[in-house]
Chains A and B, each alone.
Chain A
């Protein structure tokens, strides 16, 4: 299996350039700087903000009907600290991947291809469905991995402990169902 060049190439991309402790320390410090200067970090709200701003540009009347959108995208602008933080993520990731020559065009992850076949449409379709559930859940719960797990647990927020526990329980069970253990042997 490891002789398959496609799989080896993908696995190469997954050997982290940065050790876990440096990454964890770095993310912890970003959280501390953010908490000291502005507010805890968070990502998922900005999906709603982008939705609101885009929709406001196309159907201004319709958007005014949603109190949730109106509340999230205050003033229908993207020029906020919160949005720029989120916009910085792809910027930084692009620079990091380019600097370490790890920009890629792979469509189907090798692990997925081994289990579900190499068809791009299947992977892309399920990515859409998964993304839908991800943000629906994050907005319903009031946060995602950054907002709840890192910022929330650090503040000892009870809602964040509950959300993180439910998240991991469901994600581990789903992963186990998608990749049954016996398939390996």
Chain B
């Protein structure tokens, strides 16, 4: 049952990515060149809904949270590497799968490259774990946790801010 739920949620997610233009090279590059904010508006809406909804679920005690560890120089370097790959391919690991299903061969190559990158990382991890990833370790910390307050106190205003920003951002900037 849980397996089917996974397939169903994933399929709806993939269909939305495709229909909303997130699997388009042109749309992603337009976003990164700060010319076409459609995808930015979409992400901000998703995060706005997520912030408020997740913390409401958490307040009622039904949220399954899974917060990732912070290791400071490592996370920054990882984000920088990811960003270069994102701008070169125009896909992220999820949208590449959607784009590949549309029949785009460059997305197929992104996936093959991704499988190789993930494998390389898996074999380098023991060395990275004891060096870079062990610097500046803070564990799975959250913003509200480090202030010692209820998550909704931050999530609600921040979520509203994201939704407001999503509405206010222009769609396509005139050039």
Structural contact, B47 and A149, CB atoms closer than 8 A: yes
Complex: A158 Cα to B88 Cα, angstroms: 27
Chain A contributes a number of interface residues (CB within 8 A of B) equal to: 133
Structural contact, A170 and B10, CB atoms closer than 8 A: no
Chain B contributes a number of interface residues (CB within 8 A of A) equal to: 127
Structural contact, B113 and A129, CB atoms closer than 8 A: yes
A59 interface hit (Cβ, 8 Å) = no
Structural contact, A134 and B19, CB atoms closer than 8 A: no
Structural contact, A134 and B42, CB atoms closer than 8 A: no
Query: What A residues does B16 contact at CB under 8 A?
Result: 18, 23, 26-27, 30, 92, 96
Query: What B residues does A32 contact at CB under 8 A?
Result: 49-50, 53-54, 57
Query: What B residues does A175 contact at CB under 8 A?
Result: 29, 32-33, 87
The number of A-B residue pairs with CB atoms under 8 Å apart is 510
CB distance from A159 to the nearest CB of B (A): 4
Complex: A158 Cα to B113 Cα, angstroms: 29
B174 interface hit (Cβ, 8 Å) = no
A5 interface hit (Cβ, 8 Å) = no
Query: What A residues does B99 contact at CB under 8 A?
Result: 93
Structural contact, B84 and A52, CB atoms closer than 8 A: no
Which residues between 129 and 170 of chain A lie within 8 Å of chain B, taking CB atoms? Answer: 129-170
A57 interface hit (Cβ, 8 Å) = no
Mark A95-120 against chain B: 1 for CB-CB distance below 8 A, else 0. 11100101111111111100000001
Mark B87-114 against chain A: 1 for CB-CB distance below 8 A, else 0. 1111111111111111111110111111
Complex: A106 Cα to B107 Cα, angstroms: 11
Query: What A residues does B33 contact at CB under 8 A?
Result: 172, 175-176, 179
Structural contact, A133 and B84, CB atoms closer than 8 A: yes
CB distance from A39 to the nearest CB of B (A): 5
Structural contact, A24 and B41, CB atoms closer than 8 A: yes
Interface residues of A (CB under 8 A from B): 10-11, 13-41, 43-44, 47-48, 50-52, 55, 66-69, 72, 79-97, 100, 102-112, 120, 123-176, 178-179, 184
* Extra pairs beyond A41-B13, A159-B67, A174-B83 (18, CB < 8 Å): A23-B16, A27-B13, A30-B12, A31-B49, A37-B5, A43-B92, A87-B7, A135-B113, A138-B82, A151-B50, A156-B145, A159-B140, A162-B70, A163-B79, A169-B80, A171-B83, A171-B87, A184-B175
